[in-house]
Amino acid sequence: MDKNTFTGLFLIMIVLAGSFYFFKPSEAELKQERERIALDSAKKAGTVTTPAAAAAQTAVPSLDSATLKGPFGANISGTEATSVLENNELRLTFSNKGGKIKSVELKNEKSYQGKPVVLFDGDKNEFGLTLVIGGKQVNTNDLYFTPVLTERSMAMRANYSPDKFIEFVYDLQPESHNVGFNINLNGMNQVIQRDSIALNWSTVLLQQEKSLKNEQQYSAPYYKYVDKNPDHLSIAKDETEDLSKSKIEWIAFKQHFFSAVLIPADPFAKAKLGVTVLTTPEQVKGYHANLSLPFNQLAAQNYKMKFYFGTNQFKVLKAQGQEIEKLVEMGYWPLKYINRFVVLPVFNFLEGFGWNYGLIILVLTIALKLVLSPLTYKSYISMAKMRILKPEMDEIKAKVGEDNATLLQQEYLKLYKQVGVNPLGGCLPMLLQLPIVMAFFFFFPNLFELRGQSFLWMHDLSTYDDFIKFGFTIPFIGDHLSLMCVLMTISTLIYTYFNNQVSGATGQMKYIGYIMPIVFLGVLNSYPSGLNYYYFLANMLTFGQQFLIKMLVNDEKIHNILKENKKKPEEQKKKSKFQTRLDDYMRQQQQAKTQQNKNK
């Protein structure tokens, strides 16, 4: 490189360095440019990246959307802030992002772990409209609303333009689980396209009870068509269902003992409802609902609704109307009628005395056993008759032999007819009592009143008492052993033993009675201790009833009555329906036998 070339390059470097120094932007200019870039990014992504962007958003809340390059331009970015509205029952936390209820706390309830009962919370709770404006979808969950809080209400507004806006108004009355909810689309009929808009609601239910598995078993989204009974989606698997058969009166996100219900003043036109069973700890299930609202582009639109946030207590839900009380499962027909019109009224009556719920269950069981005592007495007498006849039946069996089953059965039926005994007399009274036993299988697990109520060693009658914790899982049993379930099983075995003594059961029938209680030990081990407590009491009271009947009934006297019946002429015997059918059966058998002999 020669001297002239070097000198030229040196001068060029000096000129460039001077240009960078004298013409660089000031700090104010740099800050302004950074704010512009951040604001543009926030508008495109729907999020806020810098404080400057938030300041720019709040500085222009009422400018026309066209000036800010799109609908709701002034509401796309912002800083999330929360507000609280509460009464004696509920604590509602609102978020200006989406203008929604962010979380709901039931102030007078606690979870099994002693924490506040929060039905839903956080970003996984979405609630808002999906609108079509200018051929594009606008989701209100992405908008930042302006809140206006008063003593009993919260208004959230997102401005499309100075005279066009979306407004969500929430109203909370004192001493109430209901939250009024109005959607006002002021002037939006001029810009919203299509003849319907979508209201989307999705949330994740949080664990409140001792067993997540049991809580999932009783949780499902419910819905009610107009003039139809409420129904629900699957409780065991993921499911999505289109609800288009009729208009929909309400949608409920139900978990075991608590529910969030959305009730429109005018039924929803149609909906899509879904449930997802979650595997995340402390999360019960995920629910989502897509609800269709009719939209008239010729007039301003307002939609009135209300929320119910509260317990699944039957009488509380019934006060809401519209058959919302059917969120409480009472069983299948006819069990639900037994529970609703017999068991529940008696339970509520006893509850009025202010007793401990363990005592209420005891008195309820005694009352039902007294009502059913005539059936128990008939069952005992019938089984005693069969036991007394057993020696004669053994003689017939030895005479006829076991090879000819048809002839043996005919001889047995002839004996029953002679002494006036119905062999099914011991079974029928027990079958009539079976619906009561099964009704309680649905009643106690769904009874909110037992939640958190203790009795003896049982800390909560609405869930199992894990008296023994294994620390590992045993197939068919689980990770614990319920003491009340064990006592129920032992009492059933004792009852089976004495029942076999009364009926004279032998062979396989004798041992089947001992197998079933062991099976139910595994089935009921994770069921509420209140249910096992009832079955234990029922067994012990039934055993007591049979003991008293045995003291009052003389087997020798029954035997003499059977002998006298045997001596009576056929025409003097008063025939029961069973005996009439028995005569017809024997006549048919005799005719068939005669026909067979003729054919030979």
DSSP string, 101-121: EEEEEEEEEE-TTSSEEES--
262 close to 201: Cβ distance less than 8 angstroms = yes
122 close to 205: Cβ distance less than 8 angstroms = no
Asked if omega into 517 is within 30° of 0 (cis), the reply is: no
Q: How many other β-carbons are positioned within 10 Å of the β-carbon of residue 115?
A: 11
Joined tokens for residue 77: 């970015």
445 close to 339: Cβ distance less than 8 angstroms = no
**How far apart, in whole angstroms, are the C-alpha atoms of residue 538 and residue 521?**
16
Helix/strand/coil (H, E, C) string of 178-212? EEEEEEEEECHHHCECCCEEEEEEEEEEECCCCCH
How many helices (DSSP H) and strands (DSSP E) are in the chain? 15, 21
Q: Which residues pair with 200 in a beta bridge?
A: 128, 290
Sign of CA dihedral 589, 594, 599, 600: positive
Residue-by-residue DSSP string for 339-374 = IIIIIHHHHHHHHTTT--HHHHHHHHHHHHHHHHHH
Classify domain 80-328 by CATH number: 2.70.98.90
Alpha helices in 482-528 (DSSP H): 483-503, 507-524
Closest CA to 443 of 361, 523, 354, 543: 361
Closest CA to 214 of 485, 488, 537, 529: 529
Residue-by-residue DSSP string for 134-193 = TTEEEEGGGSBPEEEE-SSEEEEEEEEETTEEEEEEEEE-TT-SEEEEEEEEETGGGTB-
Q: Is 580 helix (H, G, I), strand (E, B) or coil?
A: helix
Joined tokens for residue 193: 């396209």
Q: Which residues, in sequence order, are CB contacts of 271 under 8 Å at separation 6+?
A: 223, 242, 243, 248, 251, 289, 290, 291, 292
Joined tokens for residue 276: 């997802």
348 close to 325: Cβ distance less than 8 angstroms = no
Closest CA to 138 of 185, 103, 85: 185
**How far apart, in whole angstroms, are the C-alpha atoms of residue 349 and residue 285?**
35
Q: Which residues, in sequence order, are CB contacts of 421 under 8 Å at separation 6+?
A: 382, 385, 386, 389, 415, 562
Helix/strand/coil (H, E, C) string of 277-299? ECCCCCEEEEEEEEEEEECCCCC
Closest CA to 329 of 246, 435, 231: 231
Q: Which residues, in sequence order, are CB contacts of 54 under 8 Å at separation 6+?
A: 48, 77, 78, 79
- Report the chain (600 residues): mean pLDDT per 10 consecutive residues: 43 45 48 47 39 36 47 81 94 95 95 93 88 87 91 91 90 94 90 90 95 94 95 94 94 97 95 94 95 84 94 96 95 90 94 95 94 84 81 82 76 79 71 85 95 95 93 88 94 82 63 81 93 94 85 78 70 56 62 64
Residue 466, CA distances (Å) to 211, 257, 303, 484, 538 in order: 11, 20, 49, 9, 22
Residue 572 carries which DSSP code?
G
Joined tokens for residue 589: 């058998």
Q: How many other β-carbons are positioned within 10 Å of the β-carbon of residue 583?
A: 14
Joined tokens for residue 244: 């288009």
**How far apart, in whole angstroms, are the C-alpha atoms of residue 329 and residue 336?**
8
**How far apart, in whole angstroms, are the C-alpha atoms of residue 301 and residue 298?**
9
Joined tokens for residue 538: 């029922």
Query: Which pairing describes strands 164-172 and 178-186: parallel, antiparallel, or unpaired?
Result: antiparallel
Q: How many other β-carbons are positioned within 10 Å of the β-carbon of residue 344?
A: 17
Does the reported pTM lie above 0.75? yes
**What dihedral angle (degrees, nearest 10) is formed by the CA atoms of 251, 254, 257, 258?**
-60
Q: Is 396 helix (H, G, I), strand (E, B) or coil?
A: helix
pLDDT score of 383? 79
Q: Which residues, in sequence order, are CB contacts of 293 under 8 Å at separation 6+?
A: 183, 196, 197, 198, 199, 268, 269, 303
**How far apart, in whole angstroms, are the C-alpha atoms of residue 205 and residue 282?**
9
215-218 contacts: CB < 8 A, separation 24 or more?
Answer: 215/255, 215/256, 215/284, 216/277, 216/284, 216/285, 218/255, 218/256, 218/329, 218/445, 218/446
400 close to 415: Cβ distance less than 8 angstroms = no
Joined tokens for residue 499: 């029942």
